[in-house]
Amino acid sequence: MDLGIKGKWALVCAASKGLGKGCAQALVNEGVHVVITARGAEALEATAAELRALDGGQVRAVVGDITSAAGRAAALAACPQVDILINNAVFGVPGDFLDTSDEAWRRVMDVTLDSCFRLSRRAAAGMVRRGWGRVVMVSSVNAQINRGTNTSYVTAKAGIEGLTRGMAVELAAKGVTVNCIAPGYMATDINEGFRSEPARYEWIRNRTPMKRWGKPDELAGAAVFLSSEASAFMTGQVLVMDGGMTVAI
């Protein structure tokens, strides 16, 4: 099946590891040129080297923080044109709601929600001018369900889904689709501490009908689908990939 994205340019945020890395790899395998960005230089360059070894599109790496105007500008400047944007930046500060400081709340919003809004606004302007574009947000099952001590993250991810719908309606007639992937509990670096506690690890595993945690590369197919012509008549939707967690009692 011709997905219609070979030779296009994608900007993938937080792509040095985990879900972002998996999405970038899948796009490169489809012949998409990618710009990957993250804050950690060593991990980012290692990932870039892996992606360049694939038989696919070009790979550029930009070290930076997309919560800053300079970081966003550097990432966008490295991409000749942003045809596909994968908004994957995330940050969480677990803690009781009553103990959450203004500073902790603001940091979660800055990374997980506000940076996606600001980057999408810049990237989508170019997509509209060219009459084609794909924006893929990464939310979480925690936008709908919560395990507690996670309110700031839950709020930010719910905001991502609202941003998806709002952008989708405004941009649909201009050739740009905006959709969202909501992963369940994935075995990535961001939740390594959570997974290291046997009781918590088993609680999530048993709460998931497939009886396991997800793997980062299991989101790759969805990312490619939502970035391609295969999803041309789909916009404003949230694609849940959680091993059945949100449909089980």
Residues 219, 50: Cα–Cα separation, whole Å = 18
Active-site residue (options: 153, 154, 171, 235) = 153
Output the DSSP codes for the chain.
---S-TT-EEEEES-SSHHHHHHHHHHHHTT-EEEEEES-HHHHHHHHHHHHTSSSS-EEEEE--TTSHHHHHHHHHTSS--SEEEE---------GGG--HHHHHHHHIIIIIHHHHHHHHHHHHHHHHT-EEEEEE--GGGT---SS-HHHHHHHHHHHHHHHHHHHHHGGGTEEEEEEEE-SB--GGGHHHHTSHHHHHHHHHHSTTSS-B-GGGGHHHHHHHHSGGGTT--S-EEEESTTGGG--
Active site residue 153: yes
Residues with a catalytic annotation lie at 153
